[in-house]
Chain A
Amino acid sequence: MTDHLTTFWHWYVASISIVSILACALLLWTQTTNRLPKDTKAELHGHVWDEDLAEYNNPLPNWWRWLFYITIIFSVVYLIIYPGLGGFAGIAGWTSTGEYKEEVKQADREFGPIFAKYVAIDIATLSKDPEAVAAGQRLFLNYCSQCHGSDAGGGKGFPNLRDKDWLYGGDPDTIVATLVNGRNGVMPALGEAIGGDQGIKEMVQYVRSLSGLKHDATLAAAAAPKFAVCAACHGADSKGNRQLGAPNLTDDVWLYGSGAEEIAYTIKNGRGMNTLVEGQNAMPAQSEKLGAAKIHLLTAYVYSLGGGEPPVAVSAAESNPVQASTSANNAPAAAAPAKLTGQ
């Protein structure tokens, strides 16, 4: 209310409030002057219903009058202390944002020590602690399961976090970096480059053959030489490139499905080219929303699912500046992702 008031509305609201309160007080004052001396009976009003039902002009009961006065006094005091008269903020300076901030501070006081205890332990050790993993699971169910599934098994367009296949790396630091900065993998549309629709048909069979799935051998063979276009990102051995987030094409793990239609779509239209339209290939940055402590616990949980890779030396993680710049939102903590863990 106080944020959007122009001067006119401020005075409109305030004046109506004040005038109403004064009017009530005045009404009460003027209409309660009729006092009966002790032991006199009041006069009759004069209306008669049903032949003999009449009404005495009794004064208002004292207790009623005093309650009304108390409410008037209360409203005046209230409007001085709290906001209500238009844009006046009240001498106590109460705001709902302020209340919220207080609650956040209280929560930090209560939960801060618990988180601090966990943040001090490294991810690999923490992932063996059942209580920490349980806490991580609860956080996961709250924040991550909407995309990655309640069992962290992923879905179409959302990676499976339980397996050993990682797009960017499965060591603790990389997982933290993924959470902090987010990811936006981009595969360009390469349909034209490999020969249009026929080329796509052939390439689909070739890609399926790489994973050992049922495929048409003739078409696959025709596409094999054109794979050089793909090898730039996916690697000559098709095992993917973690710097770019290009998937390993030789395992039977499919982000969008192993069906021919899906692979054809991927080649023809690319993925992540327009995340606003597709809504996929985009992992949001969580550092501002969750904070370092929750990310630490979540990483421990994901690590405990069994597919995590051993921690790498700090220097190797820092030598990948590309990771830091591919984030869709530049979160303030993007500068040194490795430093967020306790190592």
Chain B
Amino acid sequence: MTPKIIPLVVSTAPPTQANRPHRPNSPPDDQVEALYEVQAKVYPRAVTGWFANWRWFFVFATQLVYYGTPWLMWNDRQAVLFDLTARKFYIFGIVFWPQDFIYLTVLLLISAFSLFLFTAVAGRLWCGYTCPQTVYTEMFLWIERKIEGDRAKRMKLDKSPLSADKVSRKALKHAAWIALSLWTGFTLVAYFVPVRELFSQALTFAVAPWETFWIFFYGAATYGNAGWLREQVCKYMCPYARFQGAMFDRDTIEITYDYTRGEPRGSRSKSADYKAKGLGDCVDCNICVQVCPTGIDIRQGQQYECIGCGACIDGCNQVMDKMNYPRGLIRYSTANALEKQAEWSEIIRRVFRPRVLIYTALLWVIIIATAITLWNRAPIKANVIRDRNILAREGAGEQIENVYRLQIMNTQEKPQRFTVSARGIDGIQVYDLRQPLEIGSAASHMFTISLRVNSDAAPKGISRIEFDITAVDKDGRVAPSEFSLNEKSSFYKP
């Protein structure tokens, strides 16, 4: 049997009912405007199976992290807290200051490169299993299923006229959705405001204005996105779907329909010799279409709406089992492998292609560089500003003096002592500063400091000098952690 190639729909004539791809649940052509297709509601059918289990695992894992993390404590404070008003960002033992924003950039870089990497290898893993849109839609759909029933029942309920049953079911569903949305919004704000405080405020309706706004805003966004928009976000709003075309290649592992095996499709009895009738494995049950959360037909090939959730695989495998056909009519494979009918070993071999290897290398370089800088991060920051209006002045004993403002930031969560010294000119001395300087936990302090030099020791004009700021312990000796910092500055002799 010669393989039938499913053509891409390339036609300059406007689509008519006859040559339009089969789109379930869409209104007929004469009611449609050319540019925007009115989307009918998608009723995904419930599905169980290997991939469904994996999806639910990720729902639990991601949501445990999301809802649970704000409640964790670390040394008498919340473990993960982004304190915007104090401008300190706590992640377990590390405190990030605004000066550390470079790490956020690095985090975004790492996220981007890992995204490119695993998309090139295995397609839209993020979308189907871990994206909040998918996860929350699944949670909301689960609630809907529990309250309104399975697919057939839900469609019937929507078509039915208003009744006490319909109103109560809908009301209960939306109440449950709103409760979950508000809890989600509350949890988001709990990353910025200590959660226990926020919780007791919420109980007494005493939450501050901005926090209230964000709880409701994020709650509304969750409710709108997961309850109403659902697949519209994936299909119209999310850019991932659109640049999928650039990130996939013919060796990307994606969800495919083995058209060689399945076509021509058609229903037949279980015991019939379908091959003799000239039929493929596909029984045209449309279950793959019914379970799809975005409402597409995977049998038409890779399309941007497919979020890679694997529900169609589970659905089809169940039917294959019932018909005693081998599983895998819809399965994870690559475009090349499908064409060549290749084995998994060939697919795995093709994973290690130049594109993937380059992404991997870049990713590792960035991760290792970040790890090293984080490891070596000195928990102090310092800035020096030389007094410019008093360029230089005469000190006692005919010495030349320059004045500086030294800002030292102690980013550790315990008080720290520092000594300050200077070098760069013979005999340069720090004058009139009570040392060691003490700075409280996660605090910053400004000290005025002057440096003195014998007038014959320094050349005229600007000399480059350096301040050495060293952490010392209680006895004034250099601390075991031995971290120090030097800040460059200059000294002026008129």
Q: Is the CB of A156 within 8 A of B393?
A: yes
Which of B245-253, B395-403, B469-477 lines the interface with chain A? B395-403
Q: Is the CB of B398 within 8 A of A149?
A: no
Q: Is the CB of A146 within 8 A of B432?
A: no
The residues of B that contact A151 with a CB separation of less than 8 Å are: 403, 432, 448-450
CA distance A158 to B398 in the complex (A): 17
Question: A156-B394, A252-B396, A254-B394 given as contacts; is B449 within 8 A of A146 (CB)?
Answer: no
Q: Is the CB of B394 within 8 A of A150?
A: no
- For residue B390, CB closer than 8 A to chain A, the reply is yes
- For residue A257, CB closer than 8 A to chain B, the reply is yes
Residues B431-460 near A (CB distance < 8 A): 432, 448-450
| A147–chain B nearest beta-carbon distance, Å | 7
**A258 touches which of B398, B401, B405, B450 (Cβ 8 Å):** B398
- For residue B29, CB closer than 8 A to chain A, the reply is no
- For residue B404, CB closer than 8 A to chain A, the reply is yes
Closest to A257 in B: B394
Q: Is the CB of A149 within 8 A of B394?
A: no
Closest to B402 in A: A149
- For residue B387, CB closer than 8 A to chain A, the reply is yes
Q: Is the CB of A150 within 8 A of B393?
A: no
Count residues of A near B (Cβ-Cβ below 8 Å): 17
CA distance A14 to B336 in the complex (A): 71
Q: Is the CB of A153 within 8 A of B394?
A: no
Closest to A152 in B: B448
- For residue A155, CB closer than 8 A to chain B, the reply is yes
Question: A150-B448, A151-B448, A153-B403 given as contacts; is B390 within 8 A of A158 (CB)?
Answer: yes
| A59–chain B nearest beta-carbon distance, Å | 15
Q: Is the CB of A150 within 8 A of B387?
A: yes
| B492–chain A nearest beta-carbon distance, Å | 12
- For residue A209, CB closer than 8 A to chain B, the reply is no
- For residue B99, CB closer than 8 A to chain A, the reply is no
- For residue B389, CB closer than 8 A to chain A, the reply is yes
| A259–chain B nearest beta-carbon distance, Å | 8
| B342–chain A nearest beta-carbon distance, Å | 44
CA distance A258 to B405 in the complex (A): 26
CA distance A146 to B390 in the complex (A): 7
- For residue A307, CB closer than 8 A to chain B, the reply is no
The residues of A that contact B391 with a CB separation of less than 8 Å are: 155
The residues of A that contact B398 with a CB separation of less than 8 Å are: 258
Q: Is the CB of A153 within 8 A of B393?
A: yes
| A261–chain B nearest beta-carbon distance, Å | 12
CA distance A228 to B209 in the complex (A): 75
| A105–chain B nearest beta-carbon distance, Å | 23
CA distance A258 to B398 in the complex (A): 8
The residues of B that contact A148 with a CB separation of less than 8 Å are: 390
- For residue A17, CB closer than 8 A to chain B, the reply is no
Q: Is the CB of A150 within 8 A of B396?
A: no
The residues of B that contact A250 with a CB separation of less than 8 Å are: none
Count residues of B near A (Cβ-Cβ below 8 Å): 16
The residues of B that contact A241 with a CB separation of less than 8 Å are: none
Closest to B494 in A: A156
Per-position 1/0 for B211-251, Cβ under 8 A of A: 00000000000000000000000000000000000000000
Residues B382-427 near A (CB distance < 8 A): 387, 389-391, 393-394, 396, 398, 401, 403-405
CA distance A141 to B403 in the complex (A): 13
| B257–chain A nearest beta-carbon distance, Å | 37
- For residue A145, CB closer than 8 A to chain B, the reply is yes
- For residue A169, CB closer than 8 A to chain B, the reply is no
Closest to A156 in B: B393
Q: Is the CB of A258 within 8 A of B394?
A: yes
CA distance A298 to B406 in the complex (A): 21
Q: Is the CB of A154 within 8 A of B396?
A: no
CA distance A149 to B396 in the complex (A): 16
Q: Is the CB of A155 within 8 A of B396?
A: no
Q: Is the CB of A150 within 8 A of B401?
A: no
The residues of B that contact A258 with a CB separation of less than 8 Å are: 394, 398
CA distance A153 to B387 in the complex (A): 11
The residues of B that contact A254 with a CB separation of less than 8 Å are: 394
| B235–chain A nearest beta-carbon distance, Å | 23
Q: Is the CB of A155 within 8 A of B450?
A: no
Residues A263-286 near B (CB distance < 8 A): none
Closest to A213 in B: B398
Closest to B404 in A: A150
CA distance A151 to B450 in the complex (A): 8
Q: Is the CB of A155 within 8 A of B389?
A: yes
The residues of B that contact A257 with a CB separation of less than 8 Å are: 394
Closest to B395 in A: A153
| A149–chain B nearest beta-carbon distance, Å | 4
CA distance A297 to B450 in the complex (A): 24
| A260–chain B nearest beta-carbon distance, Å | 12
| A108–chain B nearest beta-carbon distance, Å | 24
CA distance A150 to B450 in the complex (A): 9
The residues of A that contact B387 with a CB separation of less than 8 Å are: 145, 149-150
Closest to B388 in A: A146
The residues of B that contact A252 with a CB separation of less than 8 Å are: 396
The residues of A that contact B394 with a CB separation of less than 8 Å are: 156, 254, 257-258
**A155 touches which of B393, B405, B432 (Cβ 8 Å):** B393
Residues A132-151 near B (CB distance < 8 A): 141, 145-151
| A254–chain B nearest beta-carbon distance, Å | 6
The residues of B that contact A141 with a CB separation of less than 8 Å are: 405
CA distance A223 to B418 in the complex (A): 52
The residues of A that contact B449 with a CB separation of less than 8 Å are: 151
Closest to B397 in A: A252
Residues A117-173 near B (CB distance < 8 A): 141, 145-151, 153-156, 158
CA distance A147 to B449 in the complex (A): 16
A150-B403, A257-B394 given. 13 additional CB < 8 A pairs?
A: A141-B405, A148-B390, A149-B389, A149-B390, A149-B448, A150-B387, A150-B390, A150-B404, A150-B448, A151-B448, A153-B403, A155-B391, A254-B394
Binding site for B on A (CB under 8 A): 141, 145-151, 153-156, 158, 252, 254, 257-258
12 contacts between A and B (CB under 8 A): A147-B389, A149-B390, A150-B404, A151-B432, A151-B448, A151-B450, A153-B390, A153-B401, A155-B389, A155-B390, A156-B393, A257-B394
